[in-house]
Structure 1
Amino acid sequence: MIKCIIIAIIIKLINTLPYCSDININKPCIYNGPIQKRIFVLKSLTPNENKTTEEINEENWHNVNKGFIHYLYRSSVTGSGPTASNGPDTSTNTTNNTTKDPTEASTVTDGKGANSTAMECNSSNIEEYPSGVGREPHSVTGKTKLINIKLHNSILIPHLRHVQYALNMGVGTPKQEINPIIDTGSTNTWVISQNCISNTCEGVASFNSKKSETFNPINEGLKIKFGTGIIKGVLGIDNITIGNDIIKQQIFGLVNEENSNIFNVIKFQGIIGLGFPKLAFDHHTSLYDNYSKQINADLIFSLYFSNQYSYLMMGGIDKRFYKGDLYMLPVIRELYWEIKLYELWIGNIKLCCNNESYIIFDSGTSFNTMPHTEFLLFKQYIKPKYCNGLENIYEEYPIIKYKLEGGIEINIEPQEYIFLHKDKCRIAYMQIDVPSSYGRAFILGTQAFMTHYYTVYQRQPPMVGFAKSVDPSELDPNIKSLINNF
């Protein structure tokens, strides 16, 4: 009886959430905003790795059992000087209290101007850290202080890009076709230049600026830091074509050199960033912002992923892709698409959160992730097991529940987080620590979340939304026909 009353209260609370258009403050609400103005088919790519995604998952669990901790660094840098990406330097009194031990909870600073931007920029040099990419522990510069993590029994993750979704676009006049991956965790657009001098650039689709009638160079350098190396290049201006639309005089990066062998690991021809302006090239307007303005669209995009069809929608949502209400939640910081996490439950076992915690929505990560402390508890209750041929296997596993602001919940069903590998039911979760002064990060990726939930990303006010996806077999036939135009 008590359980029924509690469930009824939660349902009533969610049902009484206002529509987003009825409130002027950034609070949980039900989306009733604009519909999409453009819809594009996305092509699913897999990394050029010797290991499959399933093997990466298996290795992660094996390493945790051996006592290792996997970690991934986010930059904790504020720009320096008036030309920096965040404007004037406000980091003088900022201290990043990144924990020395990734298994311990991080504390939140109240330092003046504290933030964790993903890049450091000036007029001659630009550094960017794309989403899903490992950060070097010693790559942080400037006045912001970083306390290094203990490396004993720790494994630096070079990248988290187990899956990528590419959008077809043209660069230059006449247009040269490139298939960059979309990235919810960065803001800039960059492609591989045909002038790239590194051996690993061979065989990668690239842009030849000399063949474009509309290209103009910019005297600014580009440096992209990965956990295993650096990519260097320059900025340029040219026309970019997406679908039937031409975005004129767009600033983007051209990669001329890479020393990290990254193109042999991650299969991509470039990136289109869909993040916040604070991460943009030295105050330059991003492709996403310019394109939205050109088609007179709100700064909203939405994503539908499935094993069969995947789509990017610009300017709003499309109700044909989801069912039920679409809940919107405020973004914590205008740097990444992240929201506050209040509680995490494994069935009737509460796993967290006694410390500040948040969820990152990352289209470049395949599996969901947890910090080390929570993952150790998690694997006590949910373990891989041999299951080939066993009936009703899902009944043996609990629902994983994320409790969010406003009584909103994300429920991950067993059939959504279990996958078969080598006659074994494996769990689509991994242990990844993201040391930060802002709390503990839980990533929701594509395989165990975004292929089951339609997601929405709104700039003003900054919010992330989600609703249960429509099964690809039930999609409108008119939508399916778009795949033939890719």
Structure 2
Amino acid sequence: MKWLLLLGLVVLSECLVKIPLHKGKSLRDRLREDGKLRDFLKTYRVDPSSKYFPIMEGQVSNEPMTNYMDMSYFGTISIGTPPQQFTVIFDSGSSNLWVPSTSCTSSACSNHNQFNPSSSSTFQSTSQSLSIAYGTGSMTGVIGYDTVQVGGLTVTSQEFGLAYTEADFFSQMQFDGILGLAFPSLASDGATPVFDNMWSQGLLSQDLFSVYLSANGASGSVVIFGGYETSYYSGTMNWIPLSSETYWQITLDSVSMNGNIIACNGGCQAIIDTGTSLIAGLEPGISNIQSAIGASQNSYGEYVVNCNSISSLSDIIFTINGVQYPVPASAYINQNSCSSNFQDTSGVWILGDVFIREYYVVFDRASNYIGLAPVA
């Protein structure tokens, strides 16, 4: 049965090129006109050499994530032999994996799980130091190698950071460490990201991963390695070319409200970042947005709106690659505090969890595209 299926896929692949349909249009042309060609080829991607050589079958692996108050999303991995468990943020805005070490001297490590190298028979030490700075904190430590298990996948000889110091910020976090999902070029100290090793070790059926983030603290959030699931989105999956292969960076055409461009006039750069809670942008665009939604600063420096006005606020439209992606007030306003979920930053715009909760995201390393579709 398996070989019949493979034979059928090979024949189908050849039909895409060779068999014309009515009015001279091939099946490939028809699918392209209907906007379905890319999804079709991803589903039935066949190497012509498969007629002569065995096909190596990878997996699709689902890693559940906990939604902590719509502020962070984390899942459980294990490192070492026997496995030591850690909760980590799956962060598309960075590329390194690190967890606290038993050698950590910071108070931030004391209330989190710590990796004990001497308890793992497969651990390999190095003298290579590691230092990573994030927008909200930093860590320092050393690099080691060990077996890492993620979502049922076993990655061997994975480089990871053992934190010796952590910023106080991390003591308030519900997760132990971070697993970066951005490109190798962004990795500190030349470490190979976990996802790259998943692919190079033949663990995945496709060179991509996808993310669904639940809203309102609900369960069901997931990162899918090696595929994406149509049940998580509705409508058409739109594919956006990357403008840089460091972060998952794209070109944002504009930000508008009620038909008026209020930010990013003429285009700007943005990254899709699962590790950032809010939507962050450059000035004067963010100030324009706060003004457009009627937000003003309170005594704590937060931008807040009149709670009674939320239902009358219009969507804010992010136009990307010619397609409009509305974000409603119920998403860009914190419903508990009536505070704005926009903040200022430098460098590039950051479409964080506030945006991703509205749109199922496919991170396609094979083609260097982002796929976006409204959540189902």
TM-score class normalised by the smaller sequence: 0.7 to 0.9
What residue number does 2:11 align with?
A: none
Alpha carbons of 1:199 and 1:342: their partners in 2 closer, same or farther (altered >3 Å)? closer
What residue number does 1:72 align with?
A: none
1:429 matched to 2:342? The reply is: yes
What residue number does 1:183 align with?
A: 91
What residue number does 1:466 align with?
A: 372
What residue number does 2:360 align with?
A: 454
Counterparts of 2:158 and 2:335, CA distance in 1: 45
User: 1:394-451: CA deviations, max 9, x gaps?
Assistant: 3x2222112222x3121122333334335xx443322x1313xxxxx3222213x211
Count the aligned residue pairs: 318
Q: How far is 1:178 from its partner? A: 0.9
Counterparts of 2:40 and 2:275, CA distance in 1: 25
Q: How far is 1:19 from its partner? A: 4.4
Q: How far is 1:366 from its partner? A: 1.9
Alpha carbons of 1:178 and 1:419: their partners in 2 closer, same or farther (altered >3 Å)? closer
**1:289 partner SS:** helix
**1:33 partner SS:** helix
Alpha carbons of 1:356 and 1:203: their partners in 2 closer, same or farther (altered >3 Å)? same
**2:236 partner SS:** strand
Trace 1:86-125 onto structure 2 (pairs within 5 A): none
Alpha carbons of 1:335 and 1:382: their partners in 2 closer, same or farther (altered >3 Å)? same
Which residue identity does 2:283 align to in structure 1? H
Q: How far is 1:460 from its partner? A: 2.4
1:270 matched to 2:293? The reply is: no
Q: How far is 1:282 from its partner? A: 4.5
1:398 matched to 2:314? The reply is: yes
Counterparts of 2:71 and 2:370, CA distance in 1: 21
Structure with the larger RCO, 1 or 2 (CA within 8 Å, 6+ apart): 1
**2:104 partner SS:** coil
Alpha carbons of 1:228 and 1:353: their partners in 2 closer, same or farther (altered >3 Å)? closer
Q: How far is 1:286 from its partner? A: 2.0
Verify the 8 A CA contact 2:253 2:266 in the aligned structure 1. no
Unaligned runs of 5+ in 1: 1-14, 22-29, 47-161, 436-440, 471-486
Q: How does the TM-score come out when normalised to structure 1?
A: 0.60
Unaligned runs of 5+ in 2: 1-31, 45-58, 296-304
Trace 1:30-45 onto structure 2 (pairs within 5 A): 33-34=42-43, 37-45=60-68
Alpha carbons of 1:341 and 1:227: their partners in 2 closer, same or farther (altered >3 Å)? closer
**1:264 partner SS:** helix
What residue number does 1:206 align with?
A: 114
Verify the 8 A CA contact 2:210 2:363 in the aligned structure 1. yes
**1:236 partner SS:** strand
Verify the 8 A CA contact 2:279 2:350 in the aligned structure 1. yes
Q: How far is 1:328 from its partner? A: 0.9
**2:374 partner SS:** strand
User: 1:99-138: CA deviations, max 9, x gaps?
Assistant: xxxxxxxxxxxxxxxxxxxxxxxxxxxxxxxxxxxxxxxx
1:442 matched to 2:349? The reply is: yes
What residue number does 1:310 align with?
A: 221
What residue number does 2:233 align with?
A: 322
**2:214 partner SS:** coil
Q: How does the TM-score come out when normalised to structure 2?
A: 0.77
Counterparts of 1:248 and 1:299, CA distance in 2: 18
Identity of aligned residues (%): 29
**1:197 partner SS:** coil
Verify the 8 A CA contact 1:163 1:364 in the aligned structure 2. no
Which residue identity does 1:312 align to in structure 2? V
Which residue identity does 1:339 align to in structure 2? I
What residue number does 2:323 align with?
A: 408
What residue number does 2:195 align with?
A: 288
